[in-house]
Amino acid sequence: MISRFPVFFLVLLSTVVFPWLFFLFKGEQQLSVLESASLEQETYLYDRVHDKSYNTPGDYVAAVSATGGDIAKAEVEAASAIKPWEVKNNTRAKARIKLLSLKRNVEGEPVHPVWKGGNILSGKRVYQAQGCFHCHTQQVRQKEFGVDIARGWGQRQSVARDYIYDSPVLLGISRVGPDLANVGTRMDAAALHKHIYRPPHGSNMPAYPFLYKVREIRGASSAKAIHFKEGEFGAPEEGFEVVPKPEAEYMVSYLLNLKQDYELPESRFYLEEDTADSAESGKATVDGNAGAKESHE
Ligand code: HEC
């Protein structure tokens, strides 16, 4: 009996573990050949040798023939150009071949989303540092999943492509405050500054006065100072002004650029009549957002 034990063990391995390993690697393999179709944004042919890019393979061939190059060879090159994700899998062998990115957006439509850097990116870091994502999400749910659309938080649902350049993605997990995926379409810079400097009466949102300087106006007032109306909530004393620090300015340019106001092939705007039916219930549940809803329309 004891001498048979290894045989039993081998049989067990071959029947249970090996197929399992096979499926594991099969899955891995499939993953590595998956074409990242919907995420590719541009269409161009990139020539590594001369560090130039061409809008279409045809443009590349034309450029080669214009400089007296070999057209037939250029055509072969254009046809055999590889996609960037393939380069990742096989860097050394393919690094010298022409690189082709495929456009998967609908023909004739602008390419979205676009990458944003500079102040907007700095602003995102401030947003992260201040932990705004603890209370705010940045994701509009589809109409059937809630009242986001009825509340005026967006014209369409958010999809993966919206976050293609976003790292880390700040989807958020809890909605103590309204969703900010489209805050740039419903609030302007002044309103945002006022909200961050001193959220309205009764708000659950903390104030961030340390991102602003309250200073005495000596001579001319600062061009960047927030304009408060006479006696408005949060307005400084007579003779003083509230000036955003760079951090606040960056964050506001980030917030102003939070807008999914473009259509994607996989997510189109909802039609007016689709959103109208649930609009009333949406308004009733979120009173704090009623003003935003108006300005959005
Ligand atoms: C403790 C939770 C909390 C945190 C943290 C928080 N907020 Fe809020 N926020 C809210 C709540 C609640 C509201 C809705 C009430 C109101 O209008 O103030 C709100 C509203 C807003 C609005 C108005 C949105 C609209 O559609 O009317 C903006 C803009 C905003 N927050 C930005 C920020 C930013 C930027 C930060 C980080 C610096 C932040 N919030 C941090 C809770 C929070």
Digit-coded pLDDT (tens) for 186-233: 999 999 999 999 999 889 999 999 999 999 999 998 999 999 998 899
CB of residue 258 inside a 6 A radius of ligand 1? no
Q: Is 29 in the pocket of ligand 1 (CB under 6 A)?
A: no
Q: How far is the CA of 43 from the centre of ligand 1 (A)?
A: 39
Whether ligand 1 lies within 6 angstroms of the CB of 135 is answered as yes
Q: Each residue of 26-85: pLDDT tens digit?
A: 666 665 654 444 444 556 777 777 778 787 778 888 988 998 889 998 888 887 777 665
Nearest C-alpha neighbor of 192 from the set 269, 262, 295: 295
Q: Whose CA is nearest to atom 39 of ligand 1?
A: 132
Percent of the chain's residues with pLDDT above 90? 42
pLDDT of 166 > 50? The answer is yes
Separation of CA 162 from chain center? 4
Cα–Cα distance, 263 to 256 (Å, whole number): 18
Output 64-69 pairs: Cβ under 8 A, ≥24 positions apart: none
Of 56, 103, 57, 54, nearest in space to 77 by CA: 57
The reply to whether ligand 1 has any atom less than 6 angstroms from the CB of 289 is yes
**Closest ligand 1 atom to Cα of 176:** 12
> How many alpha carbons lie under 13 Å from residue 195 in its C-beta half-sphere?
19
Contact of 227 with 190, CB cutoff 8 Å: yes
Place of tokens 């055999």: 80
- Does ligand 1 lie within 6 Å of residue 191's CB atom? no
Least trusted range by pLDDT, from 8-12, 96-100, 246-250, 270-274: 96-100
